[in-house]
A and B are shown apart, each in its own frame.
Chain A
Amino acid sequence: METIAKIDLRQVKETYNKTASRIRKRIVICAGTGCIANGALTVFKAMEKAIADAGLELFVELELNRHDHDAAYQITGSGCQGFCAQGPLVNILPDETMYVKVKPEDCAEIVERTILADEVIDRLMYVNPVTGEHNKGQLDIPFYARQNRLVLGECGHVDPENIREYIAHGGYFAAEKAFTKMNETEVCDNLVESGLRGRGGGGFPTGRKWHLTLKEVSEKKYVICNGDEGDPGAFMDRSLMEGNPHRVIEGMMIAARGIGADEAYVYVRLEYPLAVKRMRRAIEDAMDAGILGDDIFGSGHNLYIHVMEGAGAFVCGEETALMASIEGKRGMPMPKPPFPAQKGLFGKPTVINNVETLAAVPLIIRNGPSWFNQHGTAGSKGTKTFALTGHVANTGLIEVPFGTTLREIVYNIGGGVTNDDGKVTGEVFKAVQIGGPSGGCLTEEDLDMPLDYDNLIAKGAMIGSGGLVVMNNQSCMIQIARFFMNFTQSESCGKCVPCREGTKQMLALLDDIIEGKATQETFELLEEVGLVVKKASLCGLGKTAPSPVLSTIVKFKDEYFEHIHDKRCATNNCKALRSITIDPEKCIGCTACARKCPVNAISGEKKQLHFIDPEVCTKCGICYDVCKFDAVLGFN
């Protein structure tokens, strides 16, 4: 077999840094899914052209053996920088100037003024929606300044498609250490000491999981990286795989070393084509560099990593279902025990960790477990990434230490609660939905609670994978509960009775509430069946499926009762509960509404006040649309 020349990490790092230090300006354009959708690639091309037009020498990738870069410029794409709503993002180094919402036509000016003349362009800077202040760069923008980006560290700085940049940032040194200077037990012990817990949902201690797998005697073991991030409203894992795939690979290498595996899979959901592409490329590059494959770092150990694309099933985020899917079967969970540590993929001992968990591993080995566990709270060590979305000014990807309060996240990092148009107008905070379809709601009273695994569980929510949806006062919590119920119901694998039948009935009961057909019995039955689904379902997804309902039942009981007993939805989101009337002050009797009403619910003579028959009205809203005098009341 052909032997690949082994890479010398130190030499790569040194050469790279030496060369890079001669670069005058480095332009980093975010090329995450969000920014690409906003046109980052055209900005990239425009920037290249603008630099060429200015007659500057430009490198896209550094040529390592050239030492005449003094006057040269580099342009590179990066992974997700997190501030998705503001994209495309252009970062100029070493100035640390960050421009937001950059358009191709801005590029010439950026080159002329910022690259060549070191000026800052005011209109491209980020404007703080609360203070109106213009912020120059990440160090000043509260969204970034108040985060602690460890796991996301290089994400947004390095070119995800360039392995040397990752190495230059200290990448693969931890893997080298694990393979050459540590034995299996030491690797696992380090993880135990770090206190790292699984970031994908359950929060099981990672070190313990590895030890359990290490203990099993088997000639074959597997490592699986779970990148099947299916929670609606969560994109932490996507950003990591797109933005820093090598970190994920390095984490998998250390896991493989820890348990003695020589084969690994990355399971990426189908909806993330860019993540698939970047992970594939990174694996190829690592193979070419001799970092993966046979005899890793001369240790005598081998590791091969495969990328497996999902096929559209949320349930495959559950570990036994995911393994069934890799084996080519229907993704239906299996009862545990046996746990994957004992009988996992193809019946072999398997460690299965989430992307974010694995991405934290190199940091632990690199900096030591005690460095890692100084972050976070007593029971939840390190940092956690969250996808911050919904009615909040700064939507995007954030990373904070465990123990950070919700208030800090929503008001300081997030920049406050917004209205539907994304403006901070003093809207009242109503709730945060955390943990997606497995999680629950937190309210005003929880704003100052330190976020960690155990506090959230106590509140009937969970970290889940880390989706954080902020909701303002205009959100109907029954509708939110229904949204998640509809999701889990349609994503249930259909294997066990409580989840398959129970979620279906819960959805039907919620529909009754929303449609004004509910009674007290509906409410009680909803709670009863919710508890059964929670206690009796086969897998974690089923057990947590009722959480969005059960937690809103606790937190927003009055809102439920208002819907059920008063047939009223205070936020006016529930169509059937709307009371549609015509404002006698404004109606001029033009008959437009009466003519358009599809069910003839509106009566009234020409130039006379019109009336809506509530018995007939289907609340479709056509009258509201056609009325030129804003006389139809009851729609928002």
Chain B
Amino acid sequence: METKGTVNIDGMLIPIEDEKNLLELIRKADIELPTFCYHSHLSTYGACRLCISDIEGMGIQATCSITPSDGMVVKTNTAEVRQIRKVNLELLLANHDISCPSCVRSNNCKLQDLTRRLGVTKVRFKKTDKIAPIDNHSWSIIHDPNKCVLCGDCVRACKEMQSVGAIDFINRGANTIVGPAFNKSLKDVECIYCGQCVSVCPVGALVPKPETEQVWKAINDPKKYVVAQLAPAVRVALGEGFGLEAGTISTGQIVAALKRMGFDQVYDTSFAADLTVIEEATEFIQRKLKDENLPQFTSCCPSWVKFAEQYYPELLPNLSTCKSPQQMFGSVAREILPKLLNVNPEDLVIVSIMPCTAKKFEAKRDEFIHDGQAEVDHVLTTEGLGRMIHETGIQFNKLKPESFDLPLGFKTGAGVIFGNTGGVSEAVLRFAYEKITGETLIDTDLKMTRGLDGIRTVEMQLGKLKIKLGIAHTLSNARKVCEAIASGESDYDLIEIMACPGGCIAGGGQPVSFDPEFRQKRMQGLYNADKQLELHKSQDNPYVKELYKMTLGEVGGHKAHELLHTHYHGRKRINDQVITIRDTEHPKIEVYVCVGTNCYLRGAQELLQKMTKYVTENKLEDIFGFEGQEDMVDVKATFCFERCDRGPVLRVNDTIIEHATFEKAKALLDSEIQKIGALIRK
């Protein structure tokens, strides 16, 4: 190995390899310097000033921003450095709403941990901040600015990792806060609810929205029959809240705990994942054979779906119409369980346990609520379930493993690896290979799909069909893939997208981990779980076969479609924004032109200008024979009618035109004036 020299760290000579910065090298020397704002997968921010050390010749420096070089002499714990760290922490505490006992991040909070570690026992400074309102309006995430330490991790995660930028810094100096534009709620902006902000938040400023009380209420209601579905990634992370190593499989204990808590039945979302594999792979093979709507995108990740709806409406036909496993489970359960278990349909409560904050949002999508009945009633996150178990006093680690209930608790390994990036692809290939070639796949470990690279490509010959598969995780990578498709540079057939880095195992609802290897460990946990099962291919799941036979009929058939498939629509990124362009005394006709990004790109600006010009430069009322009428027409620019793939979109009173041209719009406006004018005259 080529030597890049060594750095003297507190007297130890540490060889430089390819560490990005001195902080990483110091951590290699097994010294855990404190940080708030450093994350190896985000850009260096250098703001918390806790990783400072004394470097010979350079003085006190933040080690996260220093490139190590040969011969450097670093002291990480001089009296001066220690004092600075303590005062810094004290300053943060003075500005923090110290409500630790009632904070959900208590015991898993960096601020708390460092206060203890650095021995800060007293805050000598005054409280200076006013109390800011808490945003708990979205389904997924609660934002409490009073706990924020302004490390900016969430801002960078949202911007760099997801390329969304729903939150940013607002104001300056001591007035700085983090939040969405115009201090709106996360509910009203382009937040995709992935919860990566939650995952990187060192304190309790961003936490998943709990639904624990609603779940307790259902459990405690003797009339209700409460069933749980457990997502794959939960089983390799929940244990972390009970002192277990990341990646430890604790499926049996979770089932046992749920049973003790009072769930009537406990099922496995992996069952629905097996179903998804079969439906989605079948859909893909059909599209591939017809060369239609390719590449096909996966649709199991709700953050990715919302992202596509907001930014790539033209690609929505390319998304698989399959519901996510959570929703497939919900539909199937509602369809079969009342009869199977002999319960009243309205008394059946379906609770899903997910590693994900966006699943909470997904469960509330209009498409998944039928006649007021949601397919899934409540979504608990992994950490939420962990807190519930803690509350009961159940000694999780001492529980005897129990088994899932049948039939919806039976799964193959294909449905388990869904929680990893590449897992859906691997599961689909295990199905498609046999389906297309008619041969049996012996070695089911398709390792070329695995790994942590942001965008991976897998090419596979399946009989006569050559298939090119793309696997991307994090939405900034998804964006790259989408842009490549838009520019025609991409020739993928199937693209798997997961919003979280590493897949669901690193979802925003998982316990927050400060272990730098937690992703790898949880991923390995799921692959091990696959190994431990006897079946590895979705098509081999006997209960899935049974379900098709008894209920769904043909794969991709009518009933399957009704229960397992859905549709998508363009979606606005920000609510309640209208620009008044012509504002008359008594408008009787309102013309709204959409200037959201997609319409904008399709020429909405020109349309708006022409319409405004037409309205302002002609006395339309006179032209149409309503002399003496005051100006009747208002013009407004609005952001999004959520018909983004059909833009530009324009509305005149209640009529909406898609693919609007000036001529069409003018004709509509003219007829409206005639209609209203005639009414007025009467």
Contact = CB atoms under 8 A, between A and B. Distances in A.
A521 B50 CA distance: 25
A538 B87 CA distance: 15
A313 B176 CA distance: 14
Nearest to B128: A504
B125 to A, nearest CB: 5
B92 A497 contact: yes
Contacts of A313: 172
A55 interface: no
Contact of A497 (B48, B128, B171, B173): B48
Interface in B37-71: 44-50, 52, 59-60, 62, 64-67
Nearest to A524: B124
A500 B46 contact: no
A546 to B, nearest CB: 12
Given A500-B150, A500-B174, A528-B87, A535 B94 contact: no
Contacts of A495: 45, 47, 150, 152
A492 interface: yes
Contacts of B44: 335
A535 B84 contact: yes
Contacts of A508: 125-126, 128
Interface residues of A, number: 33
B390 to A, nearest CB: 32
Contacts of B84: 498, 532, 535-536
Nearest to A333: B46
Contact of B124 (A500, A525, A538): A525
Contact of A536 (B88, B124, B126): B88
Interface string A477-509: 000000000000111111111101111110010
A334 B83 CA distance: 24
Contacts of A532: 83-84, 87-88
A494 B174 contact: yes
B514 interface: no
A489 B91 CA distance: 14
B169 A498 contact: no
A628 interface: no
Contact of A505 (B49, B50, B126, B175): B126
A6 interface: no
Given A500-B176, A508-B128, A538 B47 contact: yes
A538 B45 CA distance: 10
A169 B508 CA distance: 68
Nearest to B61: A335
Q: Find the residue from A502, A535, A536 having the highest chain B CB count within 10 A.
A: A536
A330 interface: yes
Interface residues of B, number: 38
Contacts of B477: none
B172 A496 contact: no
Contacts of A521: 124
B314 interface: no
Interface in A499-536: 500-505, 508, 521, 525, 528-529, 532, 535-536
Contact of A535 (B60, B91, B152, B169): B60
A334 B44 CA distance: 9
Nearest to A313: B172
A494 B88 contact: no
A502 B91 contact: yes
B80 interface: yes
A211 to B, nearest CB: 20
Contacts of B45: 335, 495
A334 B46 contact: yes
Contacts of A547: none
Contact of A501 (B83, B94, B124): B94
A550 to B, nearest CB: 15
A492 B173 contact: yes
Nearest to B44: A335
Interface string B77-98: 0001001100110011011000
Give 10 nearest A-B pairs by CB, closest first: A335-B65, A335-B46, A494-B176, A501-B91, A492-B173, A532-B87, A494-B173, A496-B47, A536-B49, A536-B84
Given A337-B65, A504-B95, 20 more contacts: A313-B172, A489-B174, A493-B173, A494-B173, A494-B174, A494-B175, A495-B47, A497-B47, A497-B88, A497-B91, A500-B150, A501-B91, A501-B94, A525-B124, A529-B91, A532-B83, A532-B88, A535-B59, A536-B88, A538-B62
21 contacts: A335-B45, A335-B46, A335-B64, A337-B67, A493-B173, A494-B171, A494-B174, A494-B176, A497-B47, A497-B92, A498-B87, A500-B150, A501-B92, A505-B94, A525-B124, A525-B125, A532-B83, A532-B84, A532-B87, A535-B80, A538-B46
